[in-house]
A and B are shown apart, each in its own frame.
Chain A
């Protein structure tokens, strides 16, 4: 994978996410704060007990969108480094599905950037979860990403 201009970390993984390692990786002596978001599997959905979840992704596009989010928050906020990792496959209750760590010289930018990153990820990154219950499975309700309404011109693939 091409080196990220900000040394950010964007990964899709199939094993448990090592949150402590990622939080350590983003910090540097010139930083004063790391804000992390740990999203994990809830034991119920709309009051139905969940057995487990299964995540799938359009992997190449998901990684590209995660990189885009990283670039966006570097532009919007005064932050140092971002780690954004999503897990795929079967996840049990309580297991971390997504983890984001943002380092910054000051806490406000890190909080704002982390919040923006998870909100944007949930709206635009092509990842889907299937929820398994006692009596069957359903694809979770999701959000429809914003898409250009019409294209004035499209270029051939290069």
Chain B
């Protein structure tokens, strides 16, 4: 999957730009497991997103790309950096987010 194409590129300063960038993009690693991985077609993605993107917004961006994801929204939980996380959790550069279907170990 092409990198960082989920959002329009953020406004960044050009080489000779007199002004600093207004908003910085964050780089986030995104993981999919179980049926979500099957649906998306790969287990791992990495992209650049707008600063302060929440987990909910991130899922919505992937839903726009893979519309079938929408029907799993109510049966998915998310984690940020290996901890279960609320949907409104804002993301920071370097974060690892995973979308997890109901677990069935044991």
- Which residues of A come within 8 Å of B, CB atoms? 39, 55-58, 60-62, 64, 86, 97-98, 118, 121-130, 139-151, 154, 156-157
Closest B residue to A151 using CB positions: B86
A129 and B105 contact, CB distance less than 8 A? yes
Tell yes or no: B82 within 8 A of A by CB.
yes
Let me know if A140 and B33 touch, CB within 8 A: no
Interface size bracket, B side: 20 to 34
Contact B101–A128 (Cβ < 8 Å): yes
Chain A residue numbers with a CB within 8 Å of B92 are 154, 156-157
Residue pair A58, B102 in contact (C-beta under 8 Å): no
Contacts of A151 in B (CB 8 A): 85-86, 88-89
Say which one of B17-25, B60-68, B72-80 lies at the interface with A.
B72-80
> Among A58, A127, A150, which residue has its beta carbon within 8 angstroms of that of B104?
A127
Please state if A139 and B85 are interface contacts (CB–CB under 8 Å): no
- The interface residues of chain A, by DSSP majority, are classed as mixed
28 A-B pairs with C-beta separation under 8 A: A56-B34, A58-B98, A58-B100, A61-B79, A61-B82, A64-B82, A86-B105, A98-B106, A121-B106, A122-B106, A124-B103, A125-B105, A126-B33, A126-B103, A127-B105, A128-B101, A128-B105, A130-B34, A139-B38, A141-B102, A142-B101, A145-B77, A147-B78, A147-B85, A150-B86, A150-B88, A151-B86, A151-B89
Interchain CB contact (< 8 A) of A39 among B77, B87, B106: B106
Judge whether B81 is part of the interface by a CB distance below 8 angstroms: yes
**Residues from chain A with Cβ under 8 Å of B79 in the complex:** 58, 61, 126
A129-B35 Cα distance, complex, nearest whole Å: 10
A134 to B92, CA, bound (A): 45
Contact of A139 with B35 in the complex, beta carbons under 8 Å? yes
**Nearest chain A residue, comparing its CB with the CB of B31:** A58
Q: Considering the chains assembled together, what is the distance between the CA atoms of A107 and B92 in angstroms?
A: 47
Kindly provide the distance from the CB of A85 to the nearest chain B CB, expressed in whole angstroms. 12
- The one of B94, B98, B104, B106 in contact with A141, judged by C-beta atoms closer than 8 angstroms, is B104
CB distance from A131 to the nearest CB of B (A): 9
A88, closest chain B residue (CB): B105
A97 to nearest B CB, angstroms?
Answer: 7
Proximity string of chain B (6-40) to chain A, C-beta cutoff 8 Å, 1 when within and 0 when not:
00000000000000000000000001011100100
For residue B98, which residues in chain A have a CB less than 8 angstroms away from its CB?
58, 61, 126
> Would you call B89 and A122 a contact (CB within 8 A)?
no
The CA of A123 and the CA of B100, in the complex, are separated in Å by 12
Residues of chain A within 8 A of B85, CB atoms compared: 147-148, 151, 154
